[in-house]
Structure 1
Amino acid sequence: MFTTYEEAMNWIHTRKGMGPKPGIKRMEWLMEKLDHPEKKFPAIHIAGTNGKGSTVAYLTSLFKASGHTVGSFTSPHIMRFNERISINGEQISDNAVLELANAIQPLYAEISETELGPLTEFEVVTAMMFLHFARIQPDVVLLEVGLGGLFDSTNVAAPKLTMITTIGMDHLQILGNTIEEIAFQKAGIIKNGVPLVIGNIQGAAKKVILDMAKEKKSPVLAYQDDFIAVNQPTTRDFHEHFDFKAPELKLDDIEIALMGHHQIDNAATALMAFMTFCKAQKLNYSEKTILAGFRQAFWPVRMEIISQDPFIILDGAHNEPAMAVLLDAINTNFSDKKIKVLFAALTTKELEKIGPWLMRIPNHDIHLTTFDFPLVATLKDLKERLGVSDATYHEDWKKTLTQLKGKLASDEILLVTGSLYFLSEVRHFLMEG
């Protein structure tokens, strides 16, 4: 029995050493013991290589603006663990975390004695989330997949709608070495007869998903086939503007605060999912609430301008597709600036492919560093695997960040990028400093 939030958090985090254990048998056992909380609220289940977090942010804001209560489950957290489980964007309380941890801990002890073995950190947190939302009963819960889809802990859910945002090469050691294998894992969230909305996915990956949907008799709404977004370039601000077109809605000049052309794809996919879910669940919305929802949407460390004097951008580009959209955003908005880059990553990422993208950043001055985290890439790893010929290496990221920030000229931007776990620490450091 935990008596404080700190005790509960220490117990939860000691599960981290278990690492990912693909498969949902432990979760199925747990849900049975808890009387199936995962079936007691309407949910949207969201998978994808990139874009899951910002899609959750858009959907949260759209439901809120329309007057509906929306729960969300995301990972990793950026500033504080409690962010992972939230209602209407408000993170779960410390007392609720304590109560939920005490509810799961005896079951953790029980399952550890079975052939299934102990739960991982993510399984513990996922179970806490299901239990929390079953008690709260929001109008909708947004479930972000942790890793893959088919064998992810969240895949015991019984959603009313599923989404796949993007497909790219990431987590190869777990999900597979080809785009088709990765798409198959993501498509594992598709449920029999449950509608599916897919984002800007092309070629072989799209075929895998459509084939799975056909097999499961799942109706599909696909970006560019069933709905489309038309970019409206602007020099008014660092926001994106687009027109949305679908059979049931045409809406011009939608404004989103998140930067990057890829965010238009994510926003359009979120809007299609929002309308589809609302129609099925008989939830109200209007063009006015849609426009307001998009204007208010926010998601940290995705091309986030955290300061304009000095000019600092945080972006968690931790794989090749994310680096590609980061470069596009830089070239579109800041090609005339000198870009000082501070980068750190995990060894699990395809560093050999990320390196060339770093070197394509215009007018760059690249600084590579490391941080305290499991599986972090050391300076030696970065030197050997990134292949960035003109980089400077730093052991102490806090000291380096402070120095780079202090020397930033008016025509320079400091871009901090790489692992989301690194960006979480950086954002914490900058906000508290």
Structure 2
Amino acid sequence: MIEQQVTEAIQWIFASYTRVPAAKRVGFDRDVRHPQWTRWLLNAVGRPDEAAYNVAVTGSKGKGAHAILLAAILQAAGLRVGLFTSPHLVDFLERLRVDGRAVSNEDFVRLAKVVQEAAKEMPLADDHYVGPVGLVAVMASIWFREQTTDVNVFELGRGALYDDVNQVRHQGALVTPIFAEHLDKLGPEWSDVVREKLGVVTDDTAWTVSYQQDVMVERMMEEHFAARHQVWRLLGRDFTYEVMSGTGEVWTVQVASAKNEPLCAKIGVNLAPFAGNVAVALMAAKQVLKSLGKSGPALDVSLEHLAFPGRLQVISNRPTCLVDGAIHAVNARFVVDWLLRAKPSGKITAVLSLPDDKDAAGVVETLAPHLDEIIVTTCSNPHLYYTRDLVAVAKDHVQRVQWEPNVEVAVQRARASANSEDTILFLGTQSFVGDVLRIFHVPTKSLWHAHQ
């Protein structure tokens, strides 16, 4: 019964979007999106986003990773933390978490009904829609207020200036690397994408922490902040980090800055490739704690038990099966680094799911020297397109390449042909990562391992 109600709630979340003809939803976000309706709903349900301190996360690469890391660090520092991320991997309810645990079915259904009731009074124009992600962000804000969180972390979508989630009032912002992406929605130029992303900095935003950026992006950020009396800290300019290996599987990320702020996090070896992300999240966490008057002489936390689902995650052994959302050469480099540390002795197979908008050539070229075989597949998301001849791309670099359009069959084929000493890499778009986690029955309701 409750599962059916969850399904109906999710269907309602998308109903406003789907009722508008597709032609009205095609174009630049600034022309077709109307995020003010998310603000209208937040006001209508009592402005729940004003009940706690909020941080918004935007950028092109690693938004979800940075959001999870920031939430985990703040929780480890003793705060009660709400986390909103999108999309989900396996279960829609993963999008709403408090202290790493997903919202219950019952609460999700109840929250949807509250927002649905408020939405009945909305004077929505016929050619406008409320973004599905905006509706869920309103639900999250209500739940976080009910849960009396100290701070909430909200991951934005592809943009910021015209992004529904950006309507949530936030005092802090974290910016991940900004690439020339979604030019058909945020462009047409890379500079347009940067301007859209920098919309995350609102009149309510007191500080921004950013990952290292391309020279052009950094220049635009300098200009953006020149006229604003807001703090902004940039990795590589205002702070640096180093990674120190410790005993066993525990490493330490140490952040250094001109302010001599002692910031460090103990991490599992699985997080080592994300050390820069950890450093940025530590600096952002320091800003949150300072703003809340909870900043001590040092910030020293342990993330050893953070599960970090779908990111360089070993989900099975004998054969070793690893899943990761590598969709371009930079991510693929992380996978190569993992292989160099793991030193697998058997055959290495990569099962790749890379839709048309991903850097398939970059992923293949980066991984190819380490692979014995590639299986090319799709995923269960019907809204992604796989029209390129990725088999031909792969065959330019790896001799053994197979094409299997059914993702479940592709996974089964890779596992059936592997010996216990072999390694299988499941790499691709987030929908594919979710498919693999579901097929392997990997739990995703908690961000922390069971003994946490």
The TM-score bracket by the shorter chain reads: 0.7 to 0.9
Amino acid at match of 1:196: T
- Which of 391-400 and 4-13 deviates more? 4-13
Partner of 2:311: 302
Q: Is the 8 A contact 1:26 1:116 kept in 2?
A: no
Q: Is the 8 A contact 1:353 1:386 kept in 2?
A: no
| Pair 1:124-2:130 in alignment | no
CA–CA separation in structure 1 for the residues paired with 2:192 and 2:300: 36
In the comparison of the two structures, how many residue pairs are matched? 425
Q: Show CA shifts across 1:263-319 (max 9, x none).
A: 1110011111111110110125675x7332x22333111111112322011001234
> What's the offset of the Cα at 1:174?
1.5
Partner of 2:81: 70
1:314 partner SS: strand
| Pair 1:316-2:325 in alignment | yes
Q: Is the 8 A contact 2:90 2:435 kept in 1?
A: yes
> What's the offset of the Cα at 1:427?
0.3
> What's the offset of the Cα at 1:103?
1.7
Q: Is the 8 A contact 1:108 1:119 kept in 2?
A: no
> What's the offset of the Cα at 1:228?
1.1
Partner of 1:208: 220
Partner of 1:7: 8
1:191 partner SS: coil
- Which of 222-231 and 2-11 deviates more? 2-11
Unaligned runs of at least 5 residues, structure 2: 444-452
Q: Is the 8 A contact 2:5 2:109 kept in 1?
A: yes
Partner of 1:249: 261
The equivalences for 1:227-242 within 5 A come to 227-232=239-244, 236-237=248-249, 240-242=251-253
- Which of 39-48 and 167-176 deviates more? 167-176
Shift in CA distance, 260/113, structure 1 to aligned 2, threshold 3 Å = closer
- Which of 386-395 and 218-227 deviates more? 386-395
Q: Is the 8 A contact 1:170 1:349 kept in 2?
A: no
Amino acid at match of 2:435: E
Residue of 198, 211, 217 corresponding to 1:187: 198
> What's the offset of the Cα at 1:354?
4.7
| Pair 1:93-2:99 in alignment | no
Q: Is the 8 A contact 1:169 1:320 kept in 2?
A: no
Q: Is the 8 A contact 1:64 1:70 kept in 2?
A: yes
CA–CA separation in structure 2 for the residues paired with 1:113 and 1:224: 45
Shift in CA distance, 8/258, structure 1 to aligned 2, threshold 3 Å = farther
1:424 partner SS: helix
2:165 partner SS: helix
> What's the offset of the Cα at 1:331?
4.4
| Pair 1:377-2:377 in alignment | no
Amino acid at match of 1:207: R
CA–CA separation in structure 2 for the residues paired with 1:240 and 1:202: 28
> What's the offset of the Cα at 1:234?
7.1
> What's the offset of the Cα at 1:211?
1.7
Partner of 1:403: 413
2:212 partner SS: coil
Residue of 206, 209, 213 corresponding to 1:197: 209
1:72 partner SS: strand
The equivalences for 1:9-408 within 5 A come to 9-14=10-15, 17=18, 22-111=33-122, 113-115=124-126, 117-176=128-187, 178-192=189-203, 194-232=206-244, 236-237=248-249, 240-246=251-257, 247-250=259-262, 254-257=265-268, 259=270, 262-283=273-294, 290-292=300-302, 294-331=303-340, 333-334=342-343, 338-351=347-360, 354-359=363-368, 362-378=370-386, 381-383=387-389, 387-389=393-395, 390=398, 391-408=401-418
RMSD: 3.0
> What's the offset of the Cα at 1:422?
1.1
> What's the offset of the Cα at 1:201?
2.0
Shift in CA distance, 205/174, structure 1 to aligned 2, threshold 3 Å = same
Shift in CA distance, 114/23, structure 1 to aligned 2, threshold 3 Å = closer
Shift in CA distance, 279/88, structure 1 to aligned 2, threshold 3 Å = same
Q: Is the 8 A contact 2:49 2:142 kept in 1?
A: yes
> What's the offset of the Cα at 1:351?
4.3
Amino acid at match of 1:367: I
Q: Show CA shifts across 1:102-122 (max 9, x none).
A: 122244455475256232321
Shift in CA distance, 286/270, structure 1 to aligned 2, threshold 3 Å = same
Instruction: Give identity over the alignment, percent.
Output: 20
> What's the offset of the Cα at 1:341?
0.7
> What's the offset of the Cα at 1:393?
0.2
Shift in CA distance, 251/89, structure 1 to aligned 2, threshold 3 Å = closer
Amino acid at match of 1:344: S
2:256 partner SS: strand
1:168 partner SS: coil
Give the alignment's TM-score, normalised by structure 2.
0.84
CA–CA separation in structure 1 for the residues paired with 2:114 and 2:62: 32
Unaligned runs of at least 5 residues, structure 1: none
- Which of 261-270 and 58-67 deviates more? 58-67
